[in-house]
Amino acid sequence: MDRAGGRLFLWCLGLTAALIVLSLAKGGLYVDRHEGDTLHLIEMVRRMGMGQWPHVDFSTPLGILAFLPISVFVSAGFGVGVSILLGQALVALVLLGPIWWACRSRVGGWAGYALATALIVMTLAMVHGDTGAHVSLSMHYNRWGWVLATLAVMVAALPPRRAASPWIDGVIIGGAMAFFVLGKVTYALAFAPGLIVALGLRKQGLTLAVGVGVVFAVALAFLIFGGIGFWQAYIADLLQVQGSTIRPRAGEDLASLILGPAFIVPNALLAAGVFFLRKSDNPDLGLVLALLTPGFIYVTYQNWGNDPKWLAILAVLLFVGGGSGRTKVLAGLGAILVAPSFANMAISPIRHFLLDSEDFMPAFRAAPHDDFFTPTARVLRVQERRPGQYEDPGFASLNGLPEQNDPVSFKGETFAECRQELGLLGYMQAVADDLVAYGLTSEDAVFSADTFGGYWMFGQIAPTPGGAPWYYGNLTGFAAAEYVLLPICPSTPRAFKAAVQDLEPHTNSLQEVRRNELYVLYEKSEG
């Protein structure tokens, strides 16, 4: 390692250490948004901490590598709040070498420092991106995926500034693809074609072979430890979600993501980048960028918030590989467009540290998991949205058209339209307490007709075998449950309606045993 490389490594190491210390300094994890998504994450890592395997013991379309760095700390006895932060720290330390290598070998100079800083910030951020001044660790795997995609594209598409090292490049690309396959497969489908073509155009056969070897080695390791059943269950979960209508997309529709006001300028910049690269001395890079374009759009479409973090990759490719003033100007524009998102991520650990602890309360009562905090006002205040219904004939026109009113019926009872929009954690604690008071024990599992059903984390009842921390349909977990819970006001009406419709053939075996303002509980019987 030369002196310049050593200085860059020390910068990367120092920044990583500073952000890790800052994130842990609060003594726990405080989030003020996306409690439901974080609850989804927490249920999975707690189940894994109990020895359960994703897909085999519970259903999820997300792969095991998205949660393994966190679950190892839960297994070691840490609370979920600190475990999430330590998991991020572990990933950052693993990525420290690849980030240094890619920035040193492909970029160099001040731009190498800037890119390394951006990638470390994105790995350890405490918000998903965008510009909202919040703290939220949900969707962490999307940030990690963009970091790995940036590294893989850089080493595949850009020639090294010094002597080539196909083995290191291959390990980086293969490691990224292994995370995609066993973390969030969307990234693998989106970026594999561009990476393969990039390596082919640069005649990097050995790098490609090493990358493929790493992916197969990781896949083989999980085949050995998880068995063929792990892979079969994983594929089944992916197919189930692919066919689900409960959550058709994570945000904007595809047309808006291409031509919408917030995206048309970045997309035009991307098209201009492809055009000018094809007209430059590096037309092959223009072809690679063109092949990456559908992947950029698709991953952004799949990720909540639709934050176009691919602008960072575009800026790197144009700045390093463009070779002309025009492409460097486009690179600068790309960096400017994505800067607010990265600034928000960079500030987020400071924002987390400065939060007023007096405004927060533990989401879980029992140690060690009482180190996860959410705003007291968002826990103790349940907010519901219901359509207005008026009995006065003079106001009847405000009751909506017939096709707008779509109530759900079950066992001869109609459930009024309602959506719970705030207070999920407090609601789930109250329901869990009531279930225990009724008589449910750690031997009893409950199937909930809603997106979230992890009542076992709030009370002494059983986690539903084969259940889904985030419900996508097909009565996942119903077969192993002793009880079925229908919320009076679900958090996701679409999931509630789908579950109730799927429960219809089982009505004769479900006997109502408890009813209150929050839910109706049915017990499964032989009848």
In the chain, the percentage of residues whose pLDDT exceeds 90 is 88
pLDDT grade for 404, boundaries at 50, 70 and 90: low
CA distances from 6 to 9, 26, 101, 229, 310 (A): 5, 31, 11, 46, 28
Q: Is 63 exposed, middle or buried (0-12, 13-18, 19+ CB in 10 A)?
A: buried
Asked if residue 248 has pLDDT above 80, the reply is no
- Main-chain dihedrals φ then ψ at residue 502, nearest 5 degrees: -70, -25
Give the tens place of pLDDT for each residue, 120-155: 999 999 999 999 999 999 889 999 999 999 999 999
- Cβ pair 23, 89 in contact under 8 A: yes
In the chain, the percentage of residues whose pLDDT exceeds 70 is 99
CA distances from 418 to 189, 312, 395, 454 (A): 37, 41, 20, 21
Asked if residue 286 has pLDDT above 90, the reply is yes
Gap between the terminal Cα atoms of the chain: 74
Compute the distance between CA of residue 148 and CA of residue 95 in angstroms, rounded to an integer: 9
Rounded to the nearest integer, the mean pLDDT of the chain is 95
pTM over 0.85: yes
Lateral strand order in the sheet of 519-524? 446-448, 483-487, 519-524, 510-515
14: tokens are 């120092």
The set of residues, in sequence order, having a beta carbon less than 8 Å from that of 363 and lying 6+ positions away, is 35, 39, 372, 373, 374, 379, 425
Length of the chain: 527
Mean pLDDT, range 352-367, rounded to an integer: 96
For residue 484, the model assigns a pLDDT of 98
Short-list 100, 150, 125, CA closest to 19: 125
- Write b or e for each residue in 289-328: b if 16 or more Cβ atoms lie within 10 A of its Cβ, otherwise e: bbbbbebbbbbbbbbbbbbbbbbbbbbbbbbbbbeeebbe
Asked if residue 82 has pLDDT above 90, the reply is yes
Compute the distance between CA of residue 263 and CA of residue 303 in angstroms, rounded to an integer: 14
Which helix (H) or strand (E) segment is 31 a member of?
none
Compute the distance between CA of residue 5 and CA of residue 106 in angstroms, rounded to an integer: 12
Strands (E), 200-329: none
Short-list 361, 335, 368, 213, CA closest to 266: 335
